[in-house]
Amino acid sequence: MIRKVKKFFEFIGALFYFLFYRIKNIGKKKNVAQVLNSFNSGGLEQVAANVYKSFLKNGNGSYVISISNTAGPICQQLESPKHFRMIYYNFSAMLKFCAKNNIGTLIYHFSTFKLPQFKMLGFKTYYVIHNTYLWYTEGEWQNLKIKMKFTNGIIAVSEWCKDYFIKKTGISKVKVILNGIDFQNLQSGNISTITRKSLGIKNDDIVVLTVGSYTDQKHQMAILGIAEQMIKKYKNMKFLCAGPILNRDLFKLFKRELKKSSANKNVIILEYVPQDQMGDFIHNVCDIYLQPSIHEAGVPLTVMEALIKKKPVIMTDFMLDKTFPVIDRIVGVRPPYEDLMSITPKKVIEMTKKKVDSSTNEYVRKLEDIVSNLDYYRDESNFNIDDYAFLSMERMAQEYIDYIII
Amino acid sequence: MNKMILKQFLDVRKRLKKKKSIIIVAPYFNEERLKDGYFKRVKAVDELFADYYKVYVTYETTKPYIQFEEHENDTTVVRYLPGSKKQKLLVALLMMAAKKIYCHSVWQVKTKFFKLPGVKVYVDVHGVVPEEETLYERYEAAQMYGDIEEVTVQKAECLICVTNKIREHLKEKYGDKFKARTIVMPIYDTSLSQYDIEVPKSKKLVKDKPVVIYAGGIMKWQKIELMQDSINKSKDAAEFMVYCPNPKEFWETWEYPKMKNLTVGSKSYKDLCKDVYSIAHYGYVLRDDITVNNVACPTKIADYFKYRVVPIVSSPKIGDFLELGMRYITLEDFNNGKLLSKKELEEIADNNEEVLKKYVERHNKGKEEFKQMFK
């Protein structure tokens, strides 16, 4: 009870603080903030960081708000620590931060923390759909649907998740803005401390790289099924699995299965690869990029990074032809199910534990094709970076800037 | 309260009121600690308060009660637990009695200091704390010190900055909110001049090659792996000497074949001047182009200039040196074998000696302003 009263007065205080700053800042250009549940590492966070940078470059005051106190290496990408705030699920703290920094637009990434309340306080709110939220219950979809009424706009990061979102909510006014990456950063990033040598990989080994956090959807277990078949033919093939461990049980299971697997010596586990080293890491370590996800938001950033680094990509086909104007270096494999709408989190949990499913043989066949054409992919004259301009952050930035009202 | 503690407290408070005095919020230095740049600064400032009664306030303690230690040079060290309200109150009363607090960096500042009636807060800005905390991936601390820094630039009586770049950085970061007076007083230890050695204008080559040195720590931000890569790439071009507190650590990250022309060891400052700086032509100072380095004040560069050593830099934006006219060779040129001719080496060393003079002038000017302020 006392806590509630305290919180109420805290809110009243924050409200006056908010009004004071709003009056003080009348006539001044408003700023924009990205709102996330956490700001640690991962694709969603990277997109938010890229959007943050885009607005900053555009001359807007740009900030990132993390609802929880989870923060990580991605914070290093922000121009100043002043641009980042952890608010510990405290509405008043977020309101005060927004007031002090004259933030008028909030771009929510997956999180919907107090979205309607901020809208009612005069903020412009946008929601970014980053994934096919298979784990949402009907109740949660209803809840999201209501909250979406308090947005100025909804953005999906791919046709694939837009399609799913529309089917689930019936809301059709969704703008697709494909994620983009910073080509410059990728080319001029730091030298990777993780090298073929440090990983014990020989120069003539073929390295198949997967980058993704250990979560049900990423389906690292499929790599074992593919690897077991591939190494029968290619003894010098190494499968490198890099990514943070978000689901520890799944990771433990993966390690147990790896221990039993005939591909035990051909699969290498790596944890986090610093983002500023990613370009050099992919360039020097990877030959082929593999992403056998069960479902995805669309195109993972590392897939884009691999493409820009001239690597052939093989991944589960999430409307790749609709997403990519150029697909000569990206090979799609049918997902291990017929209809995404029939997939539930329970099914994903079952599927993620399987090494072999209906996609495995297609993966193996197409991977063999890529290996036989490796010289073609390695030949610089067969790659024109301009063909991939649609993956650039500049394109993404412009689309966000044009769409978001500040 | 324990009678003994009360007696000590009243005694310190009485002296604070009676004498010209100051509270210094920082851990107290000793011989061992003086290897660290932070404590060198604490000592340098301590010397500027020579005629003051100084009370160091620190939460470095192993005891559950407040402690009062008497030291030489009219100094008392008060150790307290910041979690204890009673002890905090006693420290606040001491601060109110002294009326002046000198905090060594934002790390030591508490926003409550600014609420103490009649107390002026002076802050020595050694570095950019929120940015450093972010670099070390301590994000909650970065947020907390960011809040403190914001209050500090508004309410502190004066900020004593180690570089002009720090002052500019804070002014740009806080814009109109920046209200505090500032003094730029770079770190320059005049006492080290006792080890000065006459350096010839033109240094001799060793085995027909220039000598490249590194003297310093093996911290992540000192880019040791980048330096090792450079040493390996330029292995035929020079004689290399690396001196660090723990040479073992250097070899831990060395992943190249051993080189006959690479010496790794440990030396005192005096021996470094005599045996290393005096014969060296080039010296590594590799730093990333990030705020923490752009505003820093590495004493190593001043030593290089004094001993006519040309810096090899990956980014020249280190503290105020570029602004003062520093000349250097880039790591890229060095790695590509584009070494300087004898004449160029001399010209750059001459130029950098002038830069050092300007740097010392800036230090002396800052010191004068400092003394005036606390007269």
Domain ranges in chain B?
3-189+362-373, 192-361
Q: Give, as one character, the DSSP assignment of residue B276.
A: I
Q: Please report residues of A whose CB lies closer than 8 A to that of B139.
A: 71-72, 75, 84, 86
Q: How confident is the model at residue B274 (pLDDT cuts 50, 70, 90)?
A: confident
- In this prediction, residue B309 carries a pLDDT of 96
- In this prediction, residue A189 carries a pLDDT of 75
Q: What is the mean pLDDT of residues A268-288?
A: 88
pLDDT surpasses 80 at B59: yes
Q: How confident is the model at residue A268 (pLDDT cuts 50, 70, 90)?
A: very high
pLDDT (tens digit per residue) in A373-400: 999 999 988 888 888 888 998 999 999 9
Note the ipTM here. Answer: 0.81
Strand partners, B206: B209
Using CA atoms of A3, A4, A10, A16 in order, give the dihedral in degrees to the nearest 10. -170
- In this prediction, residue B314 carries a pLDDT of 94
In this structure, what token pair is assigned to residue B297? Answer: 């004040």
Q: Which of residues 171-200 of A touch B (CB under 8 A)?
A: 191, 193, 197-198
Closest residue of chain B to A72, computed from CA coordinates: B137
User: Which residue in A69, A75, A80 is closest to B173 by CB distance?
Assistant: A80
Domains annotated for chain A, with CATH where assigned, are: 2-176 (3.40.50.2000), 185-389 (3.40.50.2000)
Residue in this structure with the two tokens 């919907």, named with its chain if needed: A112
Contact B321, B298 (CB under 8 A): no
Judge: B134–A193 Cβ closer than 8 Å, yes or no.
no
Q: What is the mean pLDDT of residues A315-337?
A: 88
B192-361: same fold as B3-189+362-373?
yes
In this structure, what token pair is assigned to residue A399? Answer: 């689309």
Closest residue of chain B to A101, computed from CA coordinates: B174
State how far Cα B98 lies from the chain centre: 27
Q: Does B146 touch chain A (CB under 8 A)?
A: yes
Q: What is the mean pLDDT of residues A88-98?
A: 97
pLDDT (tens digit per residue) in A140-181: 999 999 999 999 999 999 888 899 999 999 999 999 998 888
Q: How confident is the model at residue B312 (pLDDT cuts 50, 70, 90)?
A: very high
CA dist B26 and B58 (Å) reads 6
pLDDT surpasses 90 at B37: no
User: Which residue in A69, A72, A82 is closest to B146 by CB distance?
Assistant: A82
Q: How confident is the model at residue B191 (pLDDT cuts 50, 70, 90)?
A: low
User: Which residue in A75, A191, A197 is closest to B139 by CB distance?
Assistant: A75
Judge: A76–B130 Cβ closer than 8 Å, yes or no.
no
pLDDT surpasses 80 at B105: yes
What is the number of CB-based contacts under 8 A between chain A and chain B?
40
- In this prediction, residue B296 carries a pLDDT of 87
Judge: A76–B146 Cβ closer than 8 Å, yes or no.
no
- In this prediction, residue A286 carries a pLDDT of 96
Residue in this structure with the two tokens 């670099």, named with its chain if needed: B135
CA dist B275 and A84 (Å) reads 48
Closest residue of chain B to A39, computed from CA coordinates: B139
- In this prediction, residue B194 carries a pLDDT of 62
Average pLDDT, rounded, for chain B:
92
Instruction: Tally Cβ neighbours within 10 Å of residue B80.
Output: 22
pLDDT (tens digit per residue) in A101-136: 999 999 999 999 999 999 999 999 999 999 888 888
Burial of residue A191, with CB atoms counted within 10 A of its CB: 0-12 exposed, 13-18 middle, 19 or more buried: middle
- In this prediction, residue B253 carries a pLDDT of 87
> CA nearest A212: which of A202, A201, A221?
A221
Q: Beta B75-79 vs B67-71: how paired, if at all? A: antiparallel
pLDDT surpasses 90 at B344: yes
pLDDT surpasses 70 at B178: yes
Q: Which of residues 253-282 of B touch A (CB under 8 A)?
A: 255
Q: What is the mean pLDDT of residues A246-263?
A: 94
Contact B316, B292 (CB under 8 A): no
CA dist A117 and A100 (Å) reads 18
Judge: B140–A85 Cβ closer than 8 Å, yes or no.
no
CATH architecture assignment, domain B192-361: 3-Layer(aba) Sandwich (3.40)
Tally the C-alpha atoms within 13 A of residue B71's C-alpha that lie toward its C-beta. Answer: 15
Q: Please report residues of B whose CB lies closer than 8 A to that of A72.
A: 137, 139
Q: Beta B181-184 vs B262-265: how paired, if at all? A: unpaired
pLDDT surpasses 70 at B213: yes
CA dist A105 and A118 (Å) reads 9
- In this prediction, residue B190 carries a pLDDT of 67
Residue in this structure with the two tokens 């045996």, named with its chain if needed: B275
Q: How confident is the model at residue B32 (pLDDT cuts 50, 70, 90)?
A: confident
- In this prediction, residue A318 carries a pLDDT of 86
Q: Please report residues of B whose CB lies closer than 8 A to that of A69.
A: 140
State how far Cα B326 lies from the chain centre: 19
Q: Give, as one character, the DSSP assignment of residue A86.
A: E
The pLDDT > 90 percentage for chain A reads 72
Q: Give, as one character, the DSSP assignment of residue B193.
A: G
Q: What is the mean pLDDT of residues B311-332?
A: 95
Closest residue of chain B to A65, computed from CA coordinates: B143
- In this prediction, residue B1 carries a pLDDT of 65
Q: Domain B3-189+362-373 class?
A: alpha beta
